[in-house]
Structure 1
Amino acid sequence: MQKSLPRTSEITDASVGPGMMTWLVTPGVTPARFGTALASGADVVLLDLEDSVPAETKETAREAVLAFVGAQARRAEGPLLGVRINAARSAEGLRDVVALADFSSWPDLIVVPKVESARDIADVVRAARKAASETKVWALVESPWGVLALPGIVHTPGLAGVLFGAADYAAAAGCGLTSRAMWYPRSQLVTAAAAAGIPAVDSPYFDLDDQDGLRRDALEADELGFAGKVAVHPRQLKAITQAFAPSLHDVEEARAVLAAAAEADGAITTAGGVMVGPPLIKAARTVARRAGHNQSATTPAPRAS
């Protein structure tokens, strides 16, 4: 059997960002946790105004989130700060967009949930552009209808990336919230995103006490081609970071490919008995960059042989 090689992708490091592997979602109704989330080590901190906020506290959460975003506007370093608004075509979602439009400081990114067509995100993209904001807009796809509409969604002008929502998808599809049941929608999401040249980020793993299950799920997400994964608690971040960091074997293999390519000076060559051409060289460069970004991280999780 041919041994595995680093996966390649048309998604560049620039499109993914300096660090987009770990996303930590925090309820917008708990402002005391916002600062803790920023200090958690996550690449992206996502303040949630949607599912985790009861209807009667939507306005209070919105005010708390916008106040925190405004206070963090001049940060020189730290994670990206995002806000998940309510569904853009809902009453609360419209209130979220209006509040943002009236706000002088926008977050680094906005996540729009329940996306099932380009129309569901186009207004948010226009609002960000009108405000001359550098805010990136991401689509959260979490239904069978959203998966079927992915070719149109991912090519929406101004869309920065897509996320997968497994729990809502499973509820709508009437399937289990299991790895096997999620293979199809996850693969569809990654494929559509790659075709559009944007990154895809995987759904959270919801069992906080199952670290082994989280590791397996995160490793599978990395293998499928996701750029990162959402965490629902800070204690999940370490396992996700380890899963998405290149293994020592991956790094050594990538270095061997790059060394062989440099020596061949553009000609087709081999490394470790495997033919090396432009696609594998590109993949090796991606692995080397990812390893450099994670050189201070903990030891990567072992890959299955």
Structure 2
Amino acid sequence: MPAFQPGMSVSRWVVNMKKFSRYCRSILFTPALVAERSVKADATDADIALIDLEDSVAAIHKAEARNRAVAFFSRPSITACRRAVRINNLGSPDGLLDLLALCGCPYKPDVVMVPKVESPRDLEIAGSLLGGVVELMAIIETPLGIENISATVSTRARLTATIFGAADFALTTGTSIDWHSQHYARSRLVTATRGAGLHPLESPWFDVRDTDGMVTAARRARELGYGGMAAVHPCQVPVINEIFSPSQDDIDRARRLVAASASDGSGICLIDGVAVGAPFIESARRLLQEFDAPRPMAKDRYAEPANMGRA
């Protein structure tokens, strides 16, 4: 998003500003067969480092990948970013085996990503087995998943985010993977997810060589309301983080809005001749809370095994 410019509507600037959130700008996917690479995600500044047991692992290697994931989550974290895993579809034996294996890990992942979610059922199963500490992300990637998105995001499981699965959605609908052909699905996901107070994430850009294409897709997603994007290669992470973060000019502008509201005291104030009310001021406050401070290091959530105080 461009920084605030003279003549730009303050209301337009604040509407754009609301799309930012530091909860998760970027998720870096790493195949479970090379799980050790995920510790390098910290060097890329990815918000979440994810080990993938699903699409990046061939059927004949699922058991080996699962064993490597278990070994990975049997050791304490040595990175600042959160650790995650994408399991297989819970409608398959591999998905159930993945989930059961993770339940036995002494150092559970921060986040478990559940694919092909079409109702609250899979999230409730995962949440009940993993316990109340692990966060869940739902991949919405089928027509039924889109149609049932409102019910899915209302689940009581620890759902924190949804992510749009463009490739599988194209496969199941017969559309192209092009942005415009999937615009309705993306919009429906954002509306339902934001309405539930959760965080929508955009599908990865699969052509690692096409940085310009990824930038265009990420900017479109941000303008639509997405708060972040998945990455399939470390080189994509810095670009994604920049697009889904405010500029210094944005932060300075937010400071001015908050300072003006505090000095005015009436609940509405004039900024550059424009009347700015409570929704705009609250958006500025939220931006400053998330971005106008050094990023905290991840808490040492893995200092003790699960049976010594961690659910």
Same fold, TM exceeding 0.5?
Answer: yes
Change (3 A) 1:234 1:123: same
Cα shift readout 1:206-236 (whole Å, capped 9, x = no counterpart): 1111111211211222222222110000000
Question: Separation in 2 of the partners of 1:195 and 1:143?
Answer: 20
- For 2:13, the equivalent position in structure 1 comes to 5
- For 1:250, the equivalent position in structure 2 comes to 250
Question: Separation in 1 of the partners of 2:254 and 2:41?
Answer: 34
- For 1:220, the equivalent position in structure 2 comes to 220
- For 1:69, the equivalent position in structure 2 comes to 73
For the residue of structure 2 that corresponds to 1:7, the secondary structure is helix
- For 1:109, the equivalent position in structure 2 comes to 111
The answer to whether the 8 A contact 1:22-1:42 is kept is yes
Question: Separation in 2 of the partners of 1:126 and 1:245?
Answer: 34
Change (3 A) 1:288 1:155: same
- For 2:143, the equivalent position in structure 1 comes to 144
Higher relative contact order (CA 8 A, sep 6+): 2
Report the residue type matching 2:32 in the other structure: G
- For 2:180, the equivalent position in structure 1 comes to 180
For the residue of structure 1 that corresponds to 2:13, the secondary structure is coil
Report the residue type matching 2:180 in the other structure: R
Question: Separation in 1 of the partners of 2:85 and 2:268?
Answer: 47
- For 1:268, the equivalent position in structure 2 comes to 268
For the residue of structure 2 that corresponds to 1:123, the secondary structure is helix
Change (3 A) 1:180 1:233: same
Cα shift readout 1:111-167 (whole Å, capped 9, x = no counterpart): 0000011112210010012xxx51111111111111110010001112222111111
Matches within 5 A, 1:64-103: 64-73=68-77, 75=78, 78-103=80-105
Deviation at 1:63, TM superposition (A): 0.7
The answer to whether the 8 A contact 2:31-2:56 is kept is yes
Question: Separation in 1 of the partners of 2:18 and 2:38?
Answer: 34
The answer to whether the 8 A contact 2:163-2:201 is kept is yes
Percent identity of equivalent pairs: 35
Cα shift readout 1:10-35 (whole Å, capped 9, x = no counterpart): 99x9xx6x641111001112234233
Listed as ranges, the gaps of 5+ residues in structure 1 are 296-305
Counterpart check, 1:20 vs 2:24: yes
- For 1:299, the equivalent position in structure 2 comes to none
Alignment coverage as a number of residue pairs:
287
Question: Separation in 1 of the partners of 2:114 and 2:250?
Answer: 35
TM normalised by structure 1 equals: 0.86
Of 2-11 and 189-198, more deviation after overlay is shown by 2-11
Question: Separation in 2 of the partners of 1:182 and 1:270?
Answer: 40
Report the residue type matching 1:5 in the other structure: W
The answer to whether the 8 A contact 2:26-2:47 is kept is yes
Deviation at 1:281, TM superposition (A): 0.6
Aligned-CA RMSD value: 2.4
- For 1:128, the equivalent position in structure 2 comes to 130
For the residue of structure 2 that corresponds to 1:5, the secondary structure is helix
Listed as ranges, the gaps of 5+ residues in structure 2 are 1-6, 296-311
For the residue of structure 1 that corresponds to 2:198, the secondary structure is coil
For the residue of structure 1 that corresponds to 2:33, the secondary structure is coil
The answer to whether the 8 A contact 2:36-2:72 is kept is no
The answer to whether the 8 A contact 1:22-1:229 is kept is yes
Of 146-155 and 207-216, more deviation after overlay is shown by 207-216
The answer to whether the 8 A contact 2:73-2:106 is kept is no
